[in-house]
Structure 1
Amino acid sequence: MTVRQLRNTKDRMRHAIFYELMGLILAVPLAAWGFGTDLWDTGVLGIFFSILAMIWNMVYNHYFDIMLLKYGGNPAHRGFWLRAVHALLFEAGFIIVSVPAIAWWLSLSLAKALAMDLGFTFFYIGYTYLYNWVYDRIFPYPGFNAKGV
C-alpha cells in the first residue's frame, strides 16, 4: 500500500462528518443529564468541539496512516491494539484544549471540567474504536478488503 492508496479528502470528510454528527447525538444529552448542565450550553460546547474535532480527525488520521505505512503497517488492517492506540492518541490531543474551555463555557471548576472531559473522553474512546471499525467495513480502503488483502 502506498500513500496514493490511502483515503482521499472526500472520504475523510465523510468519515469526519458522520463521526461528529453521531457523536453529538449520543454524547450531548448524556453529558447534560450526567453532569446536570444545561442541554443548550452543553450542545453549543459540543458543536464547538465537534468542528475542532473534524479538523483534527482529518489531519490526525492522514498522518497516522502515513506513519503506519512508514513503519510497515497496513492502514486497511488494524488489529485491536492498533485501534486502541489510535483512539487513545486521538482523544489525548483534546484534553489539553478541552478542560479550560469546558470550565470557562459552563462556569465549572477545573476539577468538574476535568471530570466532564474524562467522561467525554472515555465515551469517545469506545465510540471512536467502534465507529472506525464499522466505517472501515462499510467504506473499505480502495483496493483492499476488510482483512487488508
Structure 2
Amino acid sequence: MHPILRRVIYVGGYEILSVLFTVLVLNGALGHSGGQATLTAVLLSTTATVWNYVWNTLFERAERRFGWTGRGVLVRLGHAFGYEGGVLIFTVPLVAFMLKVSLLEALMIEASLLVFFLVFTYVYSWAFDRVVGLPESAR
C-alpha cells in the first residue's frame, strides 16, 4: 500500500473512532448533551490532528537541524511528551469553553481522555498493522 494512502486510512479510522469514544464519554459519563458532546469531540479531534502535523513537522526539522539520528527511547519520550503537552495547551481551554467548566475540570477531563488514548493508540496501531500490514520501513 502506498505510504500516503496508508496514513490517510490510519488517521481517518483513528479519528472516527476517537470522536465516537469521546462523544460517549462526554455524553454518557459526564452528562453533556449529544450535540455539545459531538461538536466538542470533533473540535478536539481536529485540534489534535492539526497539532500532530505541526508538531511532527517541527520535530523533524529539529532532527535535521541538529543532526539527530535514530530515535531511541529518550527521543521518543521527548517526542511523545512534547506532543501531548502541546495538545493539552490547546484542548484544555477548548474543553472549558465548550462544556462550560473550569480550567481545572477541563484538565481533569483531558487527563482522563489522555490515559485512555495512550492505550487506545497502542491497540489501534497494533490492530491496524495486523489488518493492513506493516509499512515497508518496518519490514
| Coarse TM-score class (shorter-chain normalised) | 0.7 to 0.9
- How far apart, in 2, do the equivalents of 1:59 and 1:15 lie? 18
Q: Equivalents in 2 of 1:62, 1:124: separation in Å?
A: 22
Please name the residue that 2:118 is paired with.
Answer: 125
Label 1:57 to 1:123 Cα distance change in 2 as closer, same or farther (>3 A): same
- 8 Å contact 1:45–1:105 — kept in the other structure? yes
Aligned Cα root-mean-square deviation (Å): 3.0
Asked whether the equivalents of residues 51 and 87 of structure 2 are also in contact (C-alpha less than 8 Å), the reply is no
* Higher fraction of helix: 2
Task: Quote the residue 1:46 is aligned against.
Answer: 41
The superposition leaves residues 38-90 of structure 1 with CA deviations (integer Å, 9 ceiling, x where unpaired) of 222011011012122233345556777895xx53359xxxxxx68x8465544
Q: Where do 5+ consecutive residues of structure 1 fail to align?
A: 1-6, 75-80
Query: Secondary structure, in 3 states, of the residue corresponding to 2:32?
Result: coil
Equivalent pair of 1:16/1:57 in contact (CA under 8 Å): no
Letter matched to residue 21 of structure 1: I
Taking structure 2 as the reference length, the TM-score comes to 0.73
Name which of structure 1's ranges 118-127 and 25-34 shifts more when overlaid on structure 2. Answer: 25-34
Percent identity over paired residues:
26
User: TM-score, structure 1 length as denominator?
Assistant: 0.69
Distance 2:57 2:7 in 1: 8
What's the secondary structure of 2:136's corresponding residue?
coil
Any gaps of 5 or more consecutive residues in structure 2? none
| Whole-Å separation in 2 of the counterparts to 1:33 and 1:23 | 15
Corresponding residue pairs, total: 131
Choose between structure 1 and 2 for higher RCO, CA contacts under 8 A separated by at least 6 residues.
1
Instruction: Show CA shifts across 1:91-149 (max 9, x none).
Output: 3321001111111111111111111111111111111122122223333112643xxxx
AA of the residue aligned to 1:71: T
> Within 2, Cα distance between the matches of 1:63 and 1:116?
27
1:136/1:73 Cα in 2 relative to 1: closer, same or farther (>3 Å)? farther
